[in-house]
Amino acid sequence: MDKYYISTAIAYTSGKPHIGNTYEIVLADSIARFKRLEGYDVYFQTGTDEHGVKIEEKAKDASISPQEFVDNISGEIKNIWDLMNTSYSKFVRTTDKHHEEIVKKIFNKMYENGDIYKGEYKGLYCTPCESFWTESQLVDGKCPDCGREVKEASEEAYFFKLSKYQDRLLRFIEDNPSFIEPEARRKEMINNFLKPGLQDLCVSRTSFTWGIPVSFDPKHVVYVWLDALTNYITNIGYDPDGSSKIFNELWPCDLHLVGKDIVRFHSIYWPCFLWSLDLPLPKKIFGHPWLLMNNDKMSKSKGNVLYADTLVDKYGVDAIRYYLIHEIPYSSDGNITEELIEERINSDLANILGNLVQRTISMGNKYFDHHIENKDINDSDSNEFINNINNVYNEIRLLMDDLHISDAVTKIFDLLRISNKYIDIEMPWALAKEADKQDKLETVLYNLLESIRVCALLLEPFMPDTSKNILEQINNSNSELRYISDNIYDLNDPKALFMRISK
Ligand code: MSP
């Protein structure tokens, strides 16, 4: 079985993750589940990023140790990932002892091969982002990432020779257009970072202690991004002294799924770190867009933050999964508000999906006492309908391969809409009144059940519980992702999938 390795960014343990951070794990989960559906042996890694000055300060404010602080938040993040029904293979933590040991060895190896050297860092430092910036990178004199004040700082530090890899990386990114996607992100990396030139990167800090110490100079802790990025290899058996068999099977990773704000770290620093370790680069870095709250960036200080657990309590897991996946397109930001969630639930989940399933099963139970077989009485509308059922898997596959996840889920809803239209055209209630149309009626219901079955199977990556629920109601375990002409349905009683929300 072919292996497929997908990772998410590892979330900071500085606070509870909002619905925007939660979007990423749900998106990754739908890709991982779809790959499993296609027959891949999927390894899906996620976890938490737990070191750095910001966390040290937050723990101090809370009068607990940094370890206690990150244990709490990491636990909270894992609970939310579980609440969202995400099927990760491994939840990693950068405070894990094994990770820390391998990071020390990685740092040593880079030092020994001459890619890390000792120097003095002077610059403008943004404390919340833990980043040094040059004057030209600032926006209105403030940190380009978070917009906050920066201050002059200098410290003895180790540097990584990023500049050494500049030409090689530019060539690599130009020669491999699918390495960074979407295209706008790739252009941004080339024009804003690679073409102006890479400066060596400061990869150690002495101003705080909550980090992985450099083993040969322990007053330094390893720069948080070097510590964090290496999670992708330390947790699958990479070891500078000899890696495991699993590492060789899984690496290079097929897809690093990250938010658009951290593409820079993944497509510039990370490749150079990997080359320094003589390792191949991941196959793809995809920088997904952001989820905005009422068209504005979510922030606690603005009080416009939504959390997954409150939304799930109110609307259910699959409604929120569907909303996130459907609402954020391939490369432009998506929007969330409770009104928009309710509109989607009513129009797509209750009307299009819920109604179709309930109507079809009810008619099958009423007209044929729960038992439906194909009588093969098809007209041209039915043949076209069957063609649509047969095409949907391939269409979705192409979209999923290109990471057009929102379009892929929309394709399923297109088929559900077509199925509702097929009911309107064939009018089963009218056929039911004519004694010589009983075989035709049974065929129409059979075709609808086949469409519902294929849609339910294809919904599994996006809405796993709903998929299971529908398959239980239609009581059929055939897993072919196309129209089958000799299925037999013994239907259960219908149960409403989604309740309409009245204003
Ligand atoms: N710890 C780093 C990642 C290190 S990966 C080696 C980090 N953590 S984070 O908690 O700030 O963000 C985690 C992920 O959530 C990132 O990919 C980030 O882009 C994403 N998002 C943060 N806010 C988001 C939205 N509002 N919408 C969608 N994704 C968002 O960065």
Between 2-6, 205-209, 309-313, 435-439, the lowest mean confidence (pLDDT) is in: 205-209
CA 85 to chain centroid, in Å, comes to 13
- With a 6 A CB cut-off, is 81 part of the ligand 1 pocket? no
Residue type, 302: K
- With a 6 A CB cut-off, is 26 part of the ligand 1 pocket? no
Indicate which atom in ligand 1 lies nearest the CA of residue 232.
Answer: 6
CA–centroid distance, 59 to ligand 1, in Å, is: 21
Rounded Cα–Cα distance for residues 287 and 272 (Å): 18
Indicate which atom in ligand 1 lies nearest the CA of residue 12.
Answer: 10
Q: Which of 469, 393, 485 is nearest to 37 (CA)?
A: 393
Neighbours of 1 (CB within 10 A): 7
- What band does 420 get if pLDDT is binned at 50, 70 and 90? very high
CA–centroid distance, 53 to ligand 1, in Å, is: 18
Indicate which atom in ligand 1 lies nearest the CA of residue 49.
Answer: 1
What is the DSSP secondary structure assignment for residue 260, as one 8-state letter?
Answer: G
What value does the mean pLDDT take over residues 285-308?
91
Q: What's the pLDDT score for residue 344?
A: 97
Sign of the Cα torsion 144, 46, 327, 263 reads positive
Rounded Cα–Cα distance for residues 294 and 338 (Å): 10
| pLDDT above 70 coverage of the chain, percent | 100
CA–centroid distance, 139 to ligand 1, in Å, is: 21
- Asked if 94 contacts 235 with a C-beta cutoff of 8 angstroms, the reply is no
CA–centroid distance, 95 to ligand 1, in Å, is: 18
Q: What's the pLDDT score for residue 153?
A: 86
Residue located via tokens 């296609």? 38
- What band does 260 get if pLDDT is binned at 50, 70 and 90? very high
Q: What's the pLDDT score for residue 151?
A: 92
CA–centroid distance, 248 to ligand 1, in Å, is: 28
Q: What's the pLDDT score for residue 231?
A: 98
The secondary element (H helix, E strand) that includes residue 5 is: strand 3-8
Indicate which atom in ligand 1 lies nearest the CA of residue 258.
Answer: 17
- What band does 431 get if pLDDT is binned at 50, 70 and 90? very high
Q: What's the pLDDT score for residue 300?
A: 77
- Asked if 355 contacts 420 with a C-beta cutoff of 8 angstroms, the reply is yes
Q: What's the pLDDT score for residue 450?
A: 98
Tens of pLDDT, residues 45-76: 999 999 999 999 999 999 999 999 999 999 99
Q: What's the pLDDT score for residue 130?
A: 73
- Residue 200 CB-density burial (10 A; 0-12 exposed, 13-18 middle, 19+ buried): middle
Which residues are bridge partners to 131 per DSSP?
A: 126
Q: What's the pLDDT score for residue 121?
A: 82
What value does the mean pLDDT take over residues 173-202?
96
CA–centroid distance, 304 to ligand 1, in Å, is: 17
What value does the mean pLDDT take over residues 324-348?
96
Structure tokens at 77: 């993040």
Tens of pLDDT, residues 191-247: 999 999 999 999 999 989 999 999 999 999 999 999 999 999 999 999 999 999 999
Structure tokens at 307: 């959390």
Q: What's the pLDDT score for residue 154?
A: 84
Rounded Cα–Cα distance for residues 217 and 228 (Å): 20
Alpha-helical regions (H) of 48-151: 53-61, 66-83, 97-112
Residue among 21, 74, 86, 299 whose CB has most ligand 1 atoms within 8 A, to mutate: 21
Structure tokens at 188: 């941004």
- With a 6 A CB cut-off, is 11 part of the ligand 1 pocket? yes
- What band does 387 get if pLDDT is binned at 50, 70 and 90? very high
Neighbours of 387 (CB within 10 A): 11
The secondary element (H helix, E strand) that includes residue 44 is: strand 41-49
SS (H, E, C) 136-165: HHCECCECCCCCCCCEEEEEEEEEECHHHH
Atom 22 (ligand 1): residue with closest C-alpha? 21
Rounded Cα–Cα distance for residues 91 and 93 (Å): 7
- With a 6 A CB cut-off, is 20 part of the ligand 1 pocket? yes
CA–centroid distance, 228 to ligand 1, in Å, is: 12
The whole-chain average pLDDT of the chain stands at 96
Q: What's the pLDDT score for residue 303?
A: 82
What is the DSSP secondary structure assignment for residue 296, as one 8-state letter?
Answer: B
Tens of pLDDT, residues 452-495: 999 999 999 999 999 999 999 999 999 999 999 999 999 999 99
The distance between the two most distant Cα atoms of the chain, rounded to a whole number of Å, is 91
Sign of the Cα torsion 306, 261, 95, 119 reads negative
What value does the mean pLDDT take over residues 125-154?
87
Rounded Cα–Cα distance for residues 256 and 230 (Å): 12
Indicate which atom in ligand 1 lies nearest the CA of residue 229.
Answer: 6
Q: What's the pLDDT score for residue 127?
A: 84
Tens of pLDDT, residues 310-335: 999 999 999 999 999 999 999 899 99
Q: What's the pLDDT score for residue 336?
A: 96
Residue among 46, 49, 328 whose CB has most ligand 1 atoms within 8 A, to mutate: 49
Rounded Cα–Cα distance for residues 27 and 319 (Å): 14
What value does the mean pLDDT take over residues 80-96?
98
Q: What's the pLDDT score for residue 417?
A: 98
pLDDT above 90: residue 125: no
Tens of pLDDT, residues 375-385: 999 999 999 99
- What band does 133 get if pLDDT is binned at 50, 70 and 90? confident
pLDDT above 90: residue 136: no
Rounded Cα–Cα distance for residues 203 and 158 (Å): 6
pLDDT above 80: residue 103: yes
Residue located via tokens 């593409």? 263
Q: What's the pLDDT score for residue 202?
A: 92
Peptide bond into 252 cis (omega under 30): yes
Residue type, 107: F
Rounded Cα–Cα distance for residues 241 and 344 (Å): 53
- What band does 159 get if pLDDT is binned at 50, 70 and 90? very high
Q: What's the pLDDT score for residue 128?
A: 84
CA–centroid distance, 142 to ligand 1, in Å, is: 21
